[in-house]
Amino acid sequence: MSISIALAQMTLNRAEPETNSQKADDWVRNASDQGAEIVLLPELWASGYDLKNCEIYGTLIHEGIFAEMRSMADKYNIAVGGSLIERENDAFYNTFVLYGASGEMIASYRKIHLFGLLEEDIYFKAGNQLVLVESDWGKIGLATCYDLRFPELFRAYAVRGAELILLVAEWPQRRVAHWQRLLQSRAIENQCFLAAVNKAGVSQGEKLSGYSAVINPMGEYLTQGGENEELLIANIDLKEVNKIRRWMPVLQDRKPEVYQTFLNE
């Protein structure tokens, strides 16, 4: 199944959700006008890492900024994904939501690996479930930023048949080499497509790297951004995943029982 994916590598203003929402709306419209079927917005695209004010930005998953994002998808007839601050009772989550082209929620994923260096573990509650979507395009897994450093998550998706993994991030320029190598590694070792959007610009005095990318199961870049704002679009054919997995059956040749025995020693 072929699909056109857009990555909205945007600069966003910390603590200015109204400004960011209008900008995101423009970029979603642009992606739709260019024929994309999915557009990804960066991690915490509405508020940025203004975590001390989670109570200001956090809403129930069907209200507030989530509803605005859903409206963008419906208005421009394009699937839209990105992460926002979700409130549930007294807890807050960094939640990646994916809406379909009619505004229906396809999936929501609460970030599992919280980044202590930005105090995510203080302000957010960690998610505890992987999310694999059985979409019209194929099987899609969701991940957020720091998750990229945990290969177990991506391998779990691959073992369950994921053909495409979507990742949203706010990744700094000083670790851009890690970003690039980890993206390629996750795609190669799991023989799947990986579409990853990152912010551009500056956040809390930290320059962000950009370099959003779509990578195929062989680790080849189908598109890659630079350090500045840009809308990237790539067309992928998910049929390639099964072809490559049959050609080199890495997933079949795993020995999980041996690994588990070692871990249990």
Active-site residue flag, 52: no
Give the whole-angstrom CA distance, residue 204 versus residue 50. Answer: 9
Give the whole-angstrom CA distance, residue 34 versus residue 78. Answer: 11
Taking only the tens place, the pLDDT of each residue in 230-254 is: 999 999 999 999 999 999 999 999 9
pLDDT, the chain, mean: 97
Strands (E) in the chain, as ranges, are 2-9, 38-40, 79-88, 91-99, 105-110, 132-134, 139-144, 164-169, 193-198, 202-203, 206-207, 213-215, 221-224, 230-237
Domain boundaries along the sequence of the chain: 2-264
Token pair for 137: 């395009």
Taking only the tens place, the pLDDT of each residue in 46-88 is: 999 999 999 999 999 999 999 999 999 999 999 999 999 999 9
Of the residues 37, 145, 163, 199, which is catalytic? 145
Of the residues 23, 37, 43, 139, which is catalytic? 43
Active-site residue flag, 145: yes
Taking only the tens place, the pLDDT of each residue in 85-125 is: 999 999 999 999 999 999 999 999 999 999 999 999 999 99
Active-site residue flag, 120: no
Amino acid at 205: G
Confidence of residue 205 (pLDDT cuts 50, 70, 90): confident
Is residue 1 pLDDT above 90, yes or no? no
Of the residues 23, 37, 54, 111, which is catalytic? 111
Token pair for 65: 């900024």
Is residue 214 pLDDT above 90, yes or no? yes
Q: What is the pTM of this model?
A: 0.98
Give the whole-angstrom CA distance, residue 152 versus residue 259. Answer: 12
| Domain 2-264 top-level CATH class | alpha beta
Give the whole-angstrom CA distance, residue 171 versus residue 154. Answer: 18
